């Protein structure tokens, strides 16, 4: 996701950041590149225009151009504008309202991921919100669709509406509502039928279901891989039935990501969740700040800290996050981090979250090297003295030779490691200058709550 966009935007801002003085013409030129990069990433044209105008207006102000580091100031403006385009600070909560059951209607084209997302959402509500969920398939278009949902419900350990042949979608919806009331379900998720393309019959069917069940949320599921088409789909659905939230599925694929940047502007609704795989637990909340940070190559420290909370040595993760925040990260920490990464197994997802590691990740993926590089790096660091690990800058030629010999690697390998570490340190400094400490702390607090064994639903996105 966002790979090309991220690469191009970081390029633009690295260029700006190097210059002590910026003119209005420099900003205009940079904005021209931003515009092209966004269009290439499939962001909708009106969204791009609006974005570039806003940033330009804010950036050519005197305080910015005459500030000490104008390049950084402009990048900060772009960061803020990205966050806004992605829906603003914080997660957009799923509203469950007060009526029982809370009806959530899933809409979208065929194959967009509605049925899978219905199952994921049911599991999430059951586990995190302790809700009693009923799943109902209104898909009478495809013969196996109702069975597909029933199977997912079984896997998730939630109930699904018994299948009755020959009922219309509206009849099924009304039956689901009755069963929910009678049997005390607090949430009813309606999985509607899609079509291959937008048509009036589909929209009419969804309107009827909506009128019969009065959903508190109408979630549009769009496939992130469909680019500009996702934008058109969102527009049509929103105009026809009104959308209260968006779920972007297949964010695990390598789409160009533009659709995510367009959704809010096109529908007025925020992205509430993203699908990141086929399994039932592959549904994440959507944090605009973190995504903006990733697009600008700042990494996703908060996301990393949260993953760490789930899967890693808690004390160690806490210590590392603290040191990152304090800018005290040294080679010992780097080695500790490599150990943690090894524990996680899949490294490329984690590397993408670390500041400055995006390029390393690409290199790994290209060469398909995976963990062997990390093992080598660990060996190199083990061959260093304590002092060297604390102050890597003291590692000059003769020390490099000794370390290479000690670890069975070459001086070139040692150089690569040192270069990578330096890159990471620079990115971390840059990150703190972006004023993202708050973001890191936010991740930290989620982590602390987790660690202390407090109620995990505290601070949850559901209301
Ligand atoms: N990789 C990936 N696949 C997904 C995701 N969401 C759904 N799918 C897959 O997309 C296909 C179509 O999904 P489905 O839920 O049946 O779509 P529907 O027609 O809208 O109900 C299935 O094979 C799903 O496993 C996702 O977030 N990531
Ligand atoms: Mg389906």
Extract the tokens encoding 164. 């009755």
Q: Does one domain contain both 433 and 387?
A: yes
Q: Is the pTM of this model over 0.75?
A: no
Q: How far is the CA of 278 from the centre of ligand 1 (A)?
A: 6
Q: Helix, strand, coil shares of the chain as percentages rounded to 5?
A: 60, 10, 30
Residues framing ligand 1 (Cβ under 6 A): 108, 110-116, 194, 249-250, 252, 275-278, 282
Tell me whether strands 102-107 and 271-275 are parallel, antiparallel or unpaired.
Answer: unpaired
3-state secondary structure of 105: strand
Give pLDDT, residue 360: 54
What is the predicted pLDDT for the residue at 223?
A: 92
CA of 226 to the centre of ligand 1 (A): 13
| Residue 249 CA, closest ligand 1 atom number | 27
Which residue, of 294, 312, 329, is where some domain finishes? Answer: 294
Quick one: which ligand is closest to 139's CA?
A: 2
pLDDT value at position 131?
A: 96
Measure 117 CA to ligand 1 centroid, in angstroms.
8
Q: How many beta carbons lie within 10 A of that of residue 184, not counting itself?
A: 11
Q: What is the number of the ligand closest to the CA of 145?
A: 2
> For residue 120, which atom of ligand 1 is closest to its CA?
6
Which protein residue has the closest C-alpha to ligand 1 atom 4? 278
Do residues 276 and 146 share a domain?
A: yes
Residue 65 is assigned to a structural domain of this protein: yes
User: Which pLDDT does position 98 carry in this prediction?
Assistant: 86
Could you write out the three-class secondary structure of 419-433?
Answer: HHHHHHHHHHHHHHH
Q: How far apart are CA 190 and CA 105, in angstroms?
A: 5
Ligand closest to the CA atom of residue 140: 2
Pair 75, 145 in one domain: no
* Residue 397 forms part of a structural domain: yes
Question: Total structural domains in the chain?
Answer: 3
The residues near 60 (Cβ < 8 Å, ≥ 6 apart) are: 24, 27
Positions in the chain whose pLDDT score sits under 50: 345-347, 367-369, 435-463
Judge if 182 and 246 occupy the same domain. yes
Q: Residue 92: inside a domain, yes or no? A: no
- Angle in degrees, 0-180, between the axes of helices 411-433 and 331-344, rounded to the nearest 10: 90
**Site to substitute for ligand 1 among 193, 246, 278, 285, most atoms within 8 A of C-beta:** 278
Q: Residue 227's pLDDT is what?
A: 79
Q: List helix spans (H) across 169-252.
A: 169-183, 200-213, 228-241
Atom of ligand 1 nearest to the CA of 110: 19
Neighbours of ion ligand 2 (CB under 5 A): 114-115
Q: For residue 119, which atom of ligand 1 is closest to its CA?
A: 15
Pocket test residue of 1, 113, 197, 283 for ligand 1, highest count of atoms within 8 A of CB: 113
Ligand 1 site-directed mutation target among 249, 275, 279, 285, most atoms within 8 Å of CB: 249
**At residue 245, what are phi and psi to the nearest 5 degrees?**
-165, 160
Specify the pLDDT at position 307.
55
Q: Say whether both 249 and 365 belong to one domain.
A: no
Domain that holds residue 22: 3-85
pLDDT of residue 94: 94
Whether 365 and 246 map to the same domain: the answer is no
Picking from 294, 309, 330, the residue at the C-terminal end of a domain is 294
Please identify, by atom number, the ligand 1 atom nearest to the C-alpha of residue 106.
20
């Amino acid at each position: 996701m966002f790979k090309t966009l991220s690469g191009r935007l970081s390029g633009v801002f690295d260029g700006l950041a190097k210059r002590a003085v910026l003119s209005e013409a420099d900003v205009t030129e940079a904005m021209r590149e931003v515009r092209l990069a966004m269009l290439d990433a499939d962001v909708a044209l009106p969204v791009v225009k609006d974005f570039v105008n806003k940033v330009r207006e804010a950036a050519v102000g005197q305080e910015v151009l005459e500030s000490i580091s104008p390049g950084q100031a402009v990048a900060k403006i772009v960061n803020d504008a990205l966050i806004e385009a992605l829906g603003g600070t914080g997660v957009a909560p799923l509203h469950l309202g007060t009526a029982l059951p809370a009806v959530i209607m899933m809409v979208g084209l065929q194959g967009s991921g509605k049925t899978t997302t219905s199952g994921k959402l049911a599991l999430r509500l059951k586990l995190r919100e302790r809700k009693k969920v009923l799943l109902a398939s209104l898909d009478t278009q495809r013969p196996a669709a109702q069975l597909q949902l029933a199977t997912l419900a079984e896997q998730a350990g939630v109930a699904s509406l018994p299948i009755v042949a020959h009922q219309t979608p509206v009849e099924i919806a009304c039956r689901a509502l009755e069963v929910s009331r009678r049997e005390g379900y607090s949430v009813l998720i309606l999985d509607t039928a899609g079509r291959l393309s937008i048509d009036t019959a589909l929209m009419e069917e969804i309107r009827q279901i909506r009128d019969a069940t009065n959903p508190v949320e109408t979630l549009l599921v769009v496939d992130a891989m469909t680019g500009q088409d996702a934008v058109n789909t969102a527009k049509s659905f929103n105009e026809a039935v009104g959308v209260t939230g968006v779920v972007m599925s297949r964010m695990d694929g390598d789409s160009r990501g533009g659709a995510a940047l367009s959704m809010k502007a096109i529908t007025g609704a925020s992205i509430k969740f993203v699908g990141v795989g086929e399994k039932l637990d592959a549904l994440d909340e959507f944090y605009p700040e973190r995504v903006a940070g990733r697009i600008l190559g700042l990494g996703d420290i908060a996301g990393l800290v949260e993953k760490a909370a789930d899967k890693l040595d808690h004390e160690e993760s806490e210590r590392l996050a603290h040191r990152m925040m304090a800018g005290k990260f040294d080679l010992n920490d780097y080695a500790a981090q490599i150990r943690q990464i090894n524990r996680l197994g899949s490294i490329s997802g984690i590397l993408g979250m670390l500041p400055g590691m995006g390029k390393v990740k690409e290199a790994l993926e290209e060469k398909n090297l995976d963990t062997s590089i990390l093992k080598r790096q660990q060996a190199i660091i083990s061959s260093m003295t304590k002092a060297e690990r604390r102050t890597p800058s003291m590692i000059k030629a003769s020390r490099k030779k000794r370390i290479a010999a000690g670890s069975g690697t070459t001086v070139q390998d040692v150089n690569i490691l040192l270069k990578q570490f330096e890159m990471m340190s620079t990115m971390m400094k840059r990150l703190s200058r972006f004023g993202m400490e708050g973001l890191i702390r936010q991740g930290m607090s989620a982590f602390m709550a987790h660690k202390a064994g407090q109620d995990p639903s505290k601070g949850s996105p559901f209301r």
